[in-house]
Amino acid sequence: MDIHDVTAIRLAAKLAENLKSLDISYCQELTERGINSLLRKKSCVTSFSVRQGALSDLSLGLLCDNLRQLRSLNIASVKSITGNGLISLAKSLRHLDFIDLSWASGSSLQDDVIEAFLTHCPRLNRMELSGQSLLTSGPFLPIISDYQKWSKCKALFFLKTKERELESKISAEEETDSSDDEYKAVCFPHRSTTFSTNLQHLSLEYCDSITDSDMEDIVTVCRGSLTVIDYYSWAVKPRLLRLNKFKIKGNTNLESDVDPVQ
């Protein structure tokens, strides 16, 4: 059912303070004026949906001020909002556990917007980001604890594997030492215990700039605690990193053979 501004203004005057859910999605006749009238009064609304609505940064400001208990927010396909407005929103909605930003802001959201939600909304459980073509994997990498260390270690393992393959071709009998035979610290990653710990579902359909291998690493490290939907609407599968046995030498100079599988 579509409503007009006059109806929204009259409705706003009679909204009960204990109203918990408000859905005005697809109301094409409702302008920013009508929507803002619904947001000017402090309320206990926990679920607000305005998909394809005439929201603006001013509307987001009113939402920050008056819907502080919001847990679910659907602003998919809302065009007239900016990254700065959304960052301010993220910093205000500490109880948010669901956000749908699919195709929002003309599909031009940058990484800093998503990072703001992941950082300032600790209860965030589900994110829908379909169609955000400029979004990269960057905001999600901190889900892996000490990602930079793990990335370097993984690159070293890969180099080691290639080196062993080359050695086997040169001489099957001769054993030689390589520059990375000894490791003082081998990093086996785990999910961060401080960053976006409650995120369980992430939809990235039609997100052109996401690096698939990064999302595979994240899903692998999360060990079933996070589902990621990729560009083609498929669930990203964990990728096992299988490596030959390497000789590891720690600070104690005690040698041991390990088979890193992650």
Handedness of CA 222, 225, 228, 234 (dihedral sign): positive
pLDDT, the chain, mean = 85
Domain with CATH 3.80.10.10 in the chain: 5-135
148 touches 225 (CB < 8 A): no
- Which CATH architecture describes the domain 5-135? Alpha-Beta Horseshoe (3.80)
Interval 132-153: pLDDT, tens: 999 999 999 999 998 888 777 7
User: Is residue 181 helix, strand or coil?
Assistant: coil
Other Cβ atoms closer than 10 A to 155: 10
Read off the tokens for 129.
């980001």
Return the minimum-mean-pLDDT range out of 11-15, 48-52, 142-146: 11-15
Q: Is the pLDDT of residue 46 over 50?
A: yes
Interval 74-115: pLDDT, tens: 999 999 999 999 999 999 999 999 999 999 998 899 999 999
Interval 178-200: pLDDT, tens: 554 445 556 678 999 999 999 99
Per the model's pLDDT, the better-predicted residue between 164 and 219 turns out to be: 219
pTM for the predicted model, two decimal places: 0.82
DSSP β-bridge partners for residue 144 = 191
- Phi and psi at 168, nearest 5°, equal -65, -30
Calpha distance 154→259 (Å, rounded): 13
Q: Is the pLDDT of residue 160 over 90?
A: no
Percent of the chain, pLDDT > 90?
Answer: 66
204 touches 231 (CB < 8 A): yes
pLDDT of residue 188: 77
Q: Is the pLDDT of residue 247 over 70?
A: no
pLDDT of residue 255: 36
Calpha distance 153→145 (Å, rounded): 13
